[in-house]
Amino acid sequence: MRQGVSADTCKTMLAFALLLVIEVAAQNPGQPFTACDSEQLQRCQGVFNDYLQIDGNIKVLRHSLPRSLNVLTYDKLRAAIEYKIGSEQESGMMKTCDGFKYYKTCYNSRNDYANCANNPLGLIIDQNGNAEKYRNQVKVFNYRTATGISPAAAFGYTKIFNQFDFSCGAGYGEFMNNADCASTVFLNGVSDMRKCDDNLAQSISKDSNPVNTCAYIEVAKECYMTIFSKSCPGRNEVAWWGCNYERVGTQTNYPQCDQIFCTYTDPGRR
């Protein structure tokens, strides 16, 4: 099974996730952010993991958790999901999307789902509206929020489920029509995708100007498009799918970047 994101990626993801929190809060003064219901989150993650049969027995932060693949181990959760799609192709994507449906409808309401799986702030802010719990000034990666979930974990977790909105929605048909090739990226192109992630994280970490964030997201989605294009030459729809797989997952957390799109030319319409 493929490896998750690197420690360096986690650290840089943490940096720009923190910027996200500051930016959103600044743009919405006085707006209350509803915290994720941790009981619903745990229950629904269990529904998802059980359906896909992807759970294992590991410890997180020195505590044994009922469900090992969750927001705190989002990188391992992503690895398990993408490996399933890569190894099982059409059936893997079909089952993953069914699991996503069960996960989504497991929550008491659409808002409860959004607070846990769409908006990283819902995972960072506790029921009292507090965000920061403590910060180790020497080891920034040890930063924990009031909920015990780091901004990097919150960002990485919500990206997974934001991507499902595309891969199990508008992108579902294109993937299924090209699963024989597109699925191979999740087996053979994993390190390349993680490089795209690394570059995006490092760029935003080094440049906190929100004006430039959208340009970095443009580069990231082009990076993904190139990976899928090289894996499936001549299949423009696969390149389009790979582009959107990254774009939707990342762009949702940066609403100011709403003018980023992915396009492809259908050879049959030339």
What element of type H or E holds 93? helix 74-106
Six token digits for residue 216: 């970095």
pLDDT by residue (tens digit) across 9-46?
Answer: 444 444 444 555 545 544 444 445 688 999 999 999 99
Q: With the C-alpha atoms ordered 68, 70, 75, 78, is the resulting torsion angle positive or negative?
A: positive
Q: Which of 9, 73, 3, 8 shows the shortest CA–CA distance to 220?
A: 9
Six token digits for residue 245: 């797989």
- Burial class of 204 by CB neighbour count within 10 A (0 to 12, 13 to 18, 19+): buried
Question: CA-to-CA distance for 21 and 251, rounded, in angstroms?
Answer: 15
pLDDT by residue (tens digit) across 133-182?
Answer: 434 333 333 345 667 888 888 889 999 999 999 999 999 999 999 999 99
Tell me if 37 sits within 8 A of 119, measured CB to CB. Answer: no
In 107-232, where does DSSP find H-type helix?
Answer: 110-117, 120-124, 151-165, 172-177, 179-182, 185-188, 190-206, 210-231
Q: Which of 9, 15, 54 shows the shortest CA–CA distance to 193?
A: 9
What is the pLDDT at residue 135? Answer: 41
What is the pLDDT at residue 107? Answer: 98
Question: CA-to-CA distance for 179 and 212, rounded, in angstroms?
Answer: 35
What is the pLDDT at residue 91? Answer: 98
Q: Is the pLDDT of residue 127 over 80?
A: no
Neighbours of 10 (CB within 10 A): 18
pLDDT by residue (tens digit) across 213-264?
Answer: 999 999 999 999 999 999 999 999 999 999 999 999 998 888 888 889 998 7
